[in-house]
Structure 1
Amino acid sequence: MQRVMNVLIEPGFYKILIQTGKNITAVAFMDIENRNRCCLLDVATSGLHYYIQVKKPLKNLSIQVFGDEQKFDSVEFDFLPVSQTCFRLKMSFAGIFRNRIQSFGPGEKLLCLGGSSDEVAAIAFSNVDHRHLYLYGLDSESITENNWGWADVGFEADISQRSAGKSDTRTCIYLHIHYLQTWPEIRAILSANTSGMDLIITTTVNDEDFYADVHESFPNARVILIENRGRDIGPFVELLKQGVFKQYDAVCKIHGKLSLKDGRETVSGQRIRRYSLACLLADGAATNIATMFKDNPDIGLVGPQNLLLPPKNEPVERYIKHELGSMKRVLTLAGVKFDPQNIQFFVGTMFWFRPDALDLLNRTNLRIMDFDAENGAKRNTLQHGLERLFCAFAQIAGYKIAGLQPQAQHDETNPLEEK
């Protein structure tokens, strides 16, 4: 349940006081004017205390309640001012332990005190997951408002069942898949929406049953077994260098994105994958986008609108600071310059592209073996640096970048929003 409240919380330091009914498990606070500012507070674990640093005024606060009985009236909260000295002391103590210093917004700290290490680790992860969902417009309220039921239920019984026409452009769907459990969902959406398009698959898994299933569903598909290096980026760069995509007018790059926590798929990972597939393929989007490339020769790369970072009027620094080293290395290899302040990129690296728009990337001579074998690294890798540069390479080549929303929102063509 979600309500919007007109409040005025001035910059400063606060202790958050919350009283709830016994069936409420968590409360989220979100700035409706800035999707970078939100937090999810666990209220079911006893002994927890929260402190927050607010750097910019909070004027319109959205409150979301989670639990078995989501009754807004049973939640009371207050932001109790504390001194900077008090907050700094609390933060110094919290810094001794992992996960107790969390985030509310850029440069705004949220302190979680009390509770066991395991409880706080789970709370910190839930807060990060919720912050991602809110930033990308994939939180539960946004899903409901936009009628994006497929974000949680998938496509097999939803929009992927609708028929799609054929495109008269030379198009290809390129899929990289490491987690085979995502294949049934991807197969369903491809079957319903990519008639007449070539399919190229790279996979790290040598599984005869998977190969047989692919060829039964898509007899002309090309399947390539490849090393597990660079996640979805390494195989993509290798195929680009081999010239595999040069024969096409437009190519859709997707992958079986799967984010796991304690062996279970995260809500944010699942929704990002399904939102990307909905924007790029579902409900006839694939055919319409292919036509867009034909009708708009200046468009070089098109991706999911909500996943294009940085958000409008926001600086890019916080999204690239850990990857600047590898980004500069790639640009140097390509012999080009690009102002980091102008970087844009699609989270999840799923997009449609015009092969000519990424020609400059081939100057780097990067191949699959230039990427480290998969080691679980989350930042400061070649693949993370490249993720942030695909749009830049297209722009350097003189092409435009555009974002789009899922086709089901519109009566006809899915409109492009140029960037």
Structure 2
Amino acid sequence: MKLLVHLHVYYHDQVGYFAEKLRNISGCEWSLFVTMSTPDAGSESVLRSVKPDVVFIRTANVGYDIWPFISVMKSVRLEDYDLVMKLHTKGPSSIAIHHVRLDGYGWRNALTEALLKDEGRFHRILSTFRDRLSTGLLCSDIFLMLPLPWTDEDSLALDKELSRIGLDVRDRHFCVGTMFIARTSCYRFLQEADITEDMFPKEQISHSGGTMAHVYERILSMAPSAYGFRARGLVTRPAVSAWLFTDRSFSALFKNIFSINREGYDRHKVLRVAGLKFRLK
């Protein structure tokens, strides 16, 4: 299998961390594409020590790490690669997700280590793609979640853009934080659809605000389902993974017993009772 790795560098002081993680890639042919808004000789030297033939691309930090990834996908022959891994530097933050509290660089580290904790982890990922042909995308199970129906980037804006580019997604789970490994064939639409740099914000907004960057954060993870593949979560912390499995199993069971959600392009309310579905006004 041949892998394309895209790393977007905004925080140059994190390059050493990612260089060490990239050293865990082995057992396959791979190429490294690094996008950055400002060139930095130190960063380039560190990354060349890992991958001498690394390709550096200068790009504006438009749409955070989203447009840089799309621009790389548009610039390569996707058929030359089987898999693509998306990585990016990420500032410290505090987040609570699935009852897991992550402070400092915890969010970045959990996303990255799910993919590149060590060589064994990476080799198991390759085996998953070889042996489980239905798998289209893998990321940390902590951050694989469904959209929140009350935010614009999770509902109206998302539905509108999916319709515009003609992407029929069947599963709306997405990776919160957008670090994943996926089959490159799932991103043909990035080359075929009218997706341009000027669609994405140049200003940096730390949290969701309905921008096109946030919409495509979701679309990039949902895309495999449009091509008949599944997104799967990688065990990041065993205790948390066990809790997530139990919680999701019971949530799926009780959803059909009783739930009220918004569905469809017009986000109409739907009541489910004992397996029956009723549209609410």
TM-score w.r.t. the length of structure 2 is: 0.73
CA contact 1:360–1:397 (8 Å) conserved in 2:
no
Partner residue, 1:367: 196
Radius of gyration: which is bigger?
A: 1
Question: Unaligned stretches of 5+ in structure 1?
Answer: 1-168, 410-416
CA contact 1:282–1:407 (8 Å) conserved in 2:
no
Specify which of 386, 394, 397 is matched with residue 216 of structure 2.
Answer: 386
Partner residue, 2:186: 357
Rounded to whole Å, the distance in 2 between the matches of 1:201 and 1:325 is 33
Deviation at residue 349 of structure 1 after TM alignment: 0.3
Rounded to whole Å, the distance in 2 between the matches of 1:273 and 1:334 is 30
Rounded to whole Å, the distance in 1 between the matches of 2:21 and 2:81 is 21
Partner residue, 1:208: 41
Query: How many percent identity over aligned positions?
Result: 23
Alignment of 1:311-322 (within 5 A): 316-318=148-150, 320-322=151-153
CA contact 2:221–2:231 (8 Å) conserved in 1:
yes
- Amino acid paired to 1:182: Q
1:107-140, CA deviations, whole angstroms, 9 ceiling, x for partnerless residues?
xxxxxxxxxxxxxxxxxxxxxxxxxxxxxxxxxx
Structure with greater proportional helix content: 2
Rounded to whole Å, the distance in 2 between the matches of 1:330 and 1:202 is 25
Deviation at residue 253 of structure 1 after TM alignment: 0.8
Change (3 A) 1:194 1:408: farther
Change (3 A) 1:392 1:189: closer
Rounded to whole Å, the distance in 1 between the matches of 2:235 and 2:18 is 18
Deviation at residue 338 of structure 1 after TM alignment: 4.5
Rounded to whole Å, the distance in 2 between the matches of 1:361 and 1:269 is 33
Specify which of 3, 13, 25 is matched with residue 181 of structure 1.
Answer: 13
Deviation at residue 240 of structure 1 after TM alignment: 1.7
Question: Unaligned stretches of 5+ in structure 2?
Answer: 95-100, 240-247, 253-281
Change (3 A) 1:407 1:173: farther
Partner residue, 2:165: 334
Deviation at residue 337 of structure 1 after TM alignment: 4.2
- Amino acid paired to 1:333: R
Specify which of 218, 234, 257 is matched with residue 51 of structure 2.
Answer: 218
- Amino acid paired to 1:349: T
CA contact 2:142–2:236 (8 Å) conserved in 1:
no
Change (3 A) 1:216 1:288: same
Partner residue, 2:233: 403
2:159 pairs with 1:324: no
Alignment of 1:2-81 (within 5 A): none
| Aligned positions, number | 232
Rounded to whole Å, the distance in 2 between the matches of 1:367 and 1:245 is 18
Deviation at residue 350 of structure 1 after TM alignment: 0.5
1:255-292, CA deviations, whole angstroms, 9 ceiling, x for partnerless residues?
1111459xxxx953511111111111112222221222
2:177 pairs with 1:344: no
RMSD: 2.8
CA contact 1:279–1:407 (8 Å) conserved in 2:
no
Give the match's secondary structure for 2:23: helix
Alignment of 1:181-200 (within 5 A): 181-194=13-26, 196-200=29-33
CA contact 2:169–2:225 (8 Å) conserved in 1:
no
